[in-house]
Chains A and B, each alone.
Chain A
Amino acid sequence: MEPTTTSYLVLAALLFGIGATGVMIRRNPLVMFMCIELMLNAVNLTFVALATRFSDIDGQTAVFFVMVVAAAEVVVGLGIIISIMRRRPGSTVDDLAELRG
Chain B
Amino acid sequence: MELVVFVLASAMVLLGAVGVIAFRNPVHAALGLILTLFGVAVHFVSMEAHFLAAVQVIVYAGAIVVLFLFVIMLLGVDRAEDLSIEPLRLQRPVAVVLGVGITVLIAGAVVRGADTLGRETVADAPGDSNIRALARSLYSDHVLAFELTSVLLIVAVAGTVILTRRLKRSEG
Contact = CB atoms under 8 A, between A and B. Distances in A.
Contact of A52 (B123, B136, B145): B123
B40 A67 contact: no
B67 A64 contact: no
A90 B123 CA distance: 50
Contacts of A1: 3
Given A10-B111, A25-B91, A41 B71 contact: no
Contacts of B3: 1-3
Interface in A1-42: 1-11, 13-22, 24-28, 30-31, 33-35, 37-38, 41
Contacts of B121: 2-5
Given A41-B36, A71-B63, A79-B164, A34 B20 contact: yes
Interface size class of A (residues with CB under 8 A): 35 or more
Contact of A68 (B49, B102, B130, B152): B152
Given A3-B122, A61-B137, A71-B63, A26 B21 contact: yes
Contacts, number: 230
Contact of B64 (A5, A58, A63, A71): A71
A55 B126 contact: yes
Interface residues of B, number: 82
Nearest to A82: B164
B20 A80 contact: no
Contacts of A8: 43, 47
B81 A28 contact: yes
A30 B72 contact: yes
Interface string A57-87: 1101101110111111111101111110100
A98 interface: no
Interface in B20-60: 20-21, 26, 29-30, 33, 36-37, 40, 43-44, 46-49, 51-52, 55-56, 59-60
B4 to A, nearest CB: 10
B122 A53 contact: yes
Nearest to B156: A72
A51 B48 CA distance: 10
B103 A82 contact: no
